[in-house]
Amino acid sequence: MQDLADCSEVEVEVVYPADDPTEACLEPDTVRQLDEIARRAAKGDVDYLRKVGRVFRRSRVESRHSSSVYGTKVK
């Protein structure tokens, strides 16, 4: 397994229940989709992740004074 990507981003829909519109909730199908995405990400399935969202590779920029982490979109 290659460690090509450090993070991905997917868009999901949330629902706001009528009894508590301040609390965003996920539908069961959305939770299952996120579970599948997490399983595929753990396996390093970057092709799948690209189909369902955006994939980023983490890169570290070092200097004498600080260290920063930036996300770079994987094409």
CA 49/CA 13 separation, integer angstroms: 18
Q: Give a yes or no: residue 1 inside a domain.
A: no
Per DSSP, helices labelled H in the chain are 28-43, 46-52
Q: Looking at residue 2, what is its pLDDT?
A: 43
- Residue 1's pLDDT band (cuts 50, 70, 90): very low
Q: Give a yes or no: residue 56 inside a domain.
A: yes
Q: Could you tell me the residue range of the domain that residue 14 belongs to?
A: 7-73
Q: Give a yes or no: residue 11 inside a domain.
A: yes
Tally of domains in the chain: 1
Q: Give a yes or no: residue 2 inside a domain.
A: no
Task: State pLDDT tens for residues 16-74.
Answer: 999 999 999 999 999 999 999 999 988 989 899 999 998 887 666 565 655 455 555 55
Q: Give a yes or no: residue 46 inside a domain.
A: yes
